[in-house]
Homo-oligomer: A and B are copies of this chain.
Amino acid sequence: MTIRSCGARRAGGLGLAMFLVSLCGFGSSSLLSDGDNKIFELGDVLFESGVTLPDARLSYVTQGTLNSSKTNAVLLPSWYSGNHHGYEFLIGPEKALDPAEYFIVSTDMFANGLSSSPSNAPPPFAGPDFPEIAIRDNVRATHRLLTEEFGIERLKAVIGFSMGAQQALQWAVSYPEMVEAAVAICGNAKEYPFGIVRLEGAKSALMADAAWNGGRYDEPPEVGLKAIARHWASWGVSQEWWRRETYRDLGYESIEKRLLAAESGWLTRDANNLLWQAKMWQRHNVGDTPGFDGDFEKALRSIKAKALLMPSETDLYFPVADAEYESRIIPDAKLLPIPSIWGHGAGAGRGPGDAEFLNQAITEFLEGQGSQ
């Protein structure tokens, strides 16, 4: 396996980061600049779908230094339409994850445009011919990165938001001896029926554009990308967020201007990448991990990591009830909802106080003060 530098090859990289910064208001000061991500060459990877992708690659960055006993690693897996920049609000000297203390590995999910994706795979796996992927495919690939490249046998923590939370809890099920702590922020161990249906709305809006053409497009399906932007606008934050016209705090003088900015952001995404990630999101269930025969609760009971589940009190697609349910089954779990009107976005530290709340909670949890 070799590691090589890899520039952000697609507009999605910098464009997406800029979009998140501009639209969501969290800190723009970055320890990581685009183009410094590394690529772990996976070679041929057999996905859960049964398809083998040749020359698969996993994009990631690291911060801090792995200590000699290799016991200070923390993994941060990326979320839907995000990348390895997503967790910067948790990283820094005064934050939950100080690079002076931890060796921090931030990975890019398959299909996000930096790791192997519909947008960057060569034929015969390009675009809509890309294999269907699973959360577990990411977890297995990252396990190889950590063990083969760094010799890490134990993770201090896996911390994830949204689809990153899906990965964090999957890590705790797949490698119970390896994960000391799992933090699932605004995300669950499986996708519940509501979430599946909600994502059908998103996918349908995008695919309604004939220019999507079954995924075989030369130009981006802009009408569909704008439609998915408007889909997400009402889901991403809470009713109360809109009621208070919080978009004005972000510099938008009208609802429509906020929506147009959202459209600009989504136009930087690749349609197939979005769809492949959404399908991965919909299908996820830790109960499908080999050895559990689809028994979701059995899989949760097998978790040995201490777990911190942090739904947002106003998240419209990962309601508190689902995390509450999981917290009753995972043997050592603490439930700590984020008090915020920022809905799902609270888990990305977007609202005033959200980042502080998350940093404090995770700091205490990792220090052991927060476990039950």
Assess whether A51 is interfacial by the CB under 8 Å rule.
Answer: no
Q: Tell me, rounded to whole Å, the shortest Cβ–Cβ distance linking A317 to chain B.
A: 8
Assess whether A192 is interfacial by the CB under 8 Å rule.
Answer: yes
Assess whether A322 is interfacial by the CB under 8 Å rule.
Answer: yes
Stretch at the interface among A65-73, A80-88, A202-210, A326-334: A202-210
> Which of chain B's residues have a CB closer than 8 A to the CB of A230?
197, 200-201, 203-204
- CA–CA, A211 and B208, complex, Å: 10
Interface SS, A side: helix
> Which of chain B's residues have a CB closer than 8 A to the CB of A206?
208
Stretch at the interface among A240-248, A297-305, A346-354: A240-248
Counting chain B CB atoms within 10 Å of each CB, which of A197, A208, A245, A322 scores highest? Answer: A208
Counting chain B CB atoms within 10 Å of each CB, which of A194, A206, A316, A322 scores highest? Answer: A194
A165-203 vs B, Cβ < 8 Å mask (1 yes, 0 no): 000000000000000000000000000111011101101
Find out whether the CB atom of A201 lies under 8 angstroms from the CB atom of B204.
no
Assess whether A143 is interfacial by the CB under 8 Å rule.
Answer: no
Assess whether A234 is interfacial by the CB under 8 Å rule.
Answer: yes
Interface set, chain A 220-270, CB cutoff 8 A to B: 223-224, 226-227, 230-231, 233-235, 238-243, 245, 247, 255, 259
> Which of chain B's residues have a CB closer than 8 A to the CB of A192?
239, 242-243
Q: Tell me, rounded to whole Å, the shortest Cβ–Cβ distance linking A321 to chain B.
A: 6
Residue of B with least CB distance to A316: B316
Find out whether the CB atom of A234 lies under 8 angstroms from the CB atom of B200.
yes
Residue of B with least CB distance to A222: B208
Assess whether A128 is interfacial by the CB under 8 Å rule.
Answer: no
- CA–CA, A86 and B238, complex, Å: 29
CB-CB under 8 A for A234 and B197, given A239-B319, A321-B243? yes
> Which of chain B's residues have a CB closer than 8 A to the CB of A198?
234
- CA–CA, A247 and B194, complex, Å: 11
Q: Tell me, rounded to whole Å, the shortest Cβ–Cβ distance linking A132 to chain B.
A: 16
Q: Tell me, rounded to whole Å, the shortest Cβ–Cβ distance linking A190 to chain B.
A: 11
Q: Tell me, rounded to whole Å, the shortest Cβ–Cβ distance linking A76 to chain B.
A: 27
CB-CB under 8 A for A197 and B243, given A223-B208, A224-B208, A230-B204? no
Find out whether the CB atom of A201 lies under 8 angstroms from the CB atom of B234.
yes
Counting chain B CB atoms within 10 Å of each CB, which of A205, A210, A238 scores highest? Answer: A205
A335-367 vs B, Cβ < 8 Å mask (1 yes, 0 no): 000000000000000000000000000000000
- CA–CA, A192 and B242, complex, Å: 8
Q: Which 4 A-B pairs have the closest CB atoms?
A: A194-B242, A208-B208, A204-B227, A193-B242
- CA–CA, A317 and B235, complex, Å: 11
Find out whether the CB atom of B227 lies under 8 angstroms from the CB atom of A196.
no
Residue of B with least CB distance to A246: B193
> Which of chain B's residues have a CB closer than 8 A to the CB of A245?
193
Contact of A255 among B197, B239, B319 (CB under 8 A): B197
